[in-house]
Amino acid sequence: MITFILFIIILGLIVLVHEFGHFIWAKKAGVHVYEFSIGFGPKLFSFNRKNDETTYLIKAIPLGGYVALAGELSGEGEDDKEVKEENKLYNKPWLSRLMVMVAGVLNNFILGFVLLFILGLIYGSTLATNEIANIDKTHPLYKSGARNGDLIVKINKAKIKDYDDIQTELALNGEKKPITLTYKSKGKEKTVKLKPIYDKKDKRYYYGISVKTINKKGIFSSLKFAFVKFCDIYKQLIIVIKSLFTHRIGVESVSGPVGIFQVIDIAKSSLYMLIYLTAYLSINVGFMNILPFPAFDGGHVLFLIIEKIKGSRVDAKLENTVNLIGFSILIILMILITIKDVFNLL
C-alpha cells in the first residue's frame, strides 16, 4: 500500500509539473484552456475557479495528464464558435506556440535539477570519480597491474569521465560479458580484458571496480552536484536511445509503469533514493517528451520548426493525422511494455 501511495505521489508530481508548464504558458499567451487534468479515465472530481474558463480535474488513472487548449489541433476550421479566434493556439505568434510546447519539458528539467540540488544540501554533494580506489588485491583489475590512483579512461569503446559513465557502460555491456578496460597509470595507458566474477553470496557478477568519491557540503557544491548529475542522467538517456537503435540493447530493457512501481518498491526505504528516483524520472519524462516523435511535445516542436523553415503553416490535416498515428503507436508500445513487465513479475 505504501508503494502504491508513493507511486501515485511521484508520478502525480511529475505530471503536475509538466502539465502546469503547458498550462501557465498557454495562459500567459492568452490561449483559451478548456481543461487541466491530472490522470486519465473516469473523473474522480473537478472544480472551476471564479472568472476562469478552465475546468480542473483529477481522474482515476494516475499515469499521465493533459491540458486541453483551444486551437491545439492546428486546424483553422476548428468547430468551437464560443472561443474567440485570437484565443486559439494556432493564431498565436510562433514563439508563443513554441514556448507552450516546450514549457512542460522545461518544468520537468527544472524539477529534476531542484531535487538533485536538495539532495546535495541534505546529504552532501557526493560525486564518484573515475579514479581507482580501495582496489582488492584478489580481483583481476589489480592483477592486471592497476593500482589506487590510476584513472579509468575507457571501457570498451566508451570514454569514461566519472563513475556514472562506468555504470552506464557496464549496464549496457551485460553483467556476464567481459569488458575491455583502459586505465592510465603514471601518464601511460594500459588496456586489459576483464571477465566478471560471480559472487555466490550476493548472486551477482562484478568486475571489482571501485573508485574514489568526493563529498562536499554547501550551496555551491550542491549546485555543482545538481549540474553534474543532471548532465550524467541526460547523457545516459541519450546513450540508451542510441543503443536501442543500434540494437545494442533490446526493447525488453525498457520498462513502463509496472517497472517503475517495482523500482519505487525497492527505493521506498531510503529517502535519498526516493528523491533521486523522482529527479531521474522527471528528467526522463522531459527527455522523452522533447524527442521529435509525433504526439510528443518534440513532435509539435518539429512541426513548428518546419513551419519556420518553409515560411508557412504545415497542413493541419497532415499534422493531425501524423500525431494520431504517433499517439496510436505509443499506446500500443505502452500496452506491450506493460504486458512484458507483468510477465517478468510472474
Report the mean per-residue pLDDT for the chain. 86
Query: Are 84 and 154 members of one domain?
Result: no
Query: Are 145 and 193 members of one domain?
Result: yes
In this predicted structure, the answer to whether residue 247 has a pLDDT above a threshold of 60 is yes
Q: Is residue 208 part of a domain?
A: yes
Q: Is residue 153 part of a domain?
A: yes
* Final residue of a structural domain among 176, 199, 216: 216
Query: Are 116 and 6 members of one domain?
Result: yes
Query: Are 6 and 115 members of one domain?
Result: yes
Q: Is residue 230 part of a domain?
A: no
Query: Which pLDDT score is estimated for 77?
Result: 47
Q: Is residue 205 part of a domain?
A: yes
Residue 305 pLDDT level (bands cut at 50, 70, 90):
very high
Query: Are 98 and 138 members of one domain?
Result: no
Query: Are 89 and 160 members of one domain?
Result: no
CA atoms within a 13 Å half-sphere pointing along the CA-CB vector of 3: 12
Active-site positions read: 19
User: What b/e sequence results for 215-245 when a residue is b if at least 16 CB atoms lie within 10 Å of its CB, and e otherwise?
Assistant: eeeeeebbbbbbebbbebbbebbebbeebee
CA 292, CA 311: separation in Å to the nearest integer?
Answer: 20
Contact 280, 226 (CB under 8 A): no
Query: Are 206 and 102 members of one domain?
Result: no
Query: Are 73 and 140 members of one domain?
Result: no
Report which of 312, 311, 164, 316 is spatially closest to residue 225, judged by C-alpha positions.
164
In this predicted structure, the answer to whether residue 161 has a pLDDT above a threshold of 50 is yes
98-145: per-residue pLDDT in tens? 999 999 999 999 999 999 999 999 998 888 888 999 888 877 788 888
Query: Are 42 and 69 members of one domain?
Result: yes
Among 54-58, 202-206, 257-261, 287-291, the minimum mean pLDDT is found in 257-261
Query: Are 116 and 169 members of one domain?
Result: no
Query: Are 45 and 154 members of one domain?
Result: no
Query: Are 131 and 33 members of one domain?
Result: no
Q: Is residue 268 part of a domain?
A: no
Total number of domains in the chain: 2
Query: Which pLDDT score is estimated for 98?
Result: 95
In this predicted structure, the answer to whether residue 39 has a pLDDT above a threshold of 70 is yes
Q: What is the mean pLDDT of residues 237-250?
A: 78
Q: Note down the domain range covering 168.
A: 125-216
Query: Which CATH number belongs to the domain containing residue 144 in this structure?
Result: 2.30.42.10
CA angle 211–197–175, rounded 5-degree value: 80
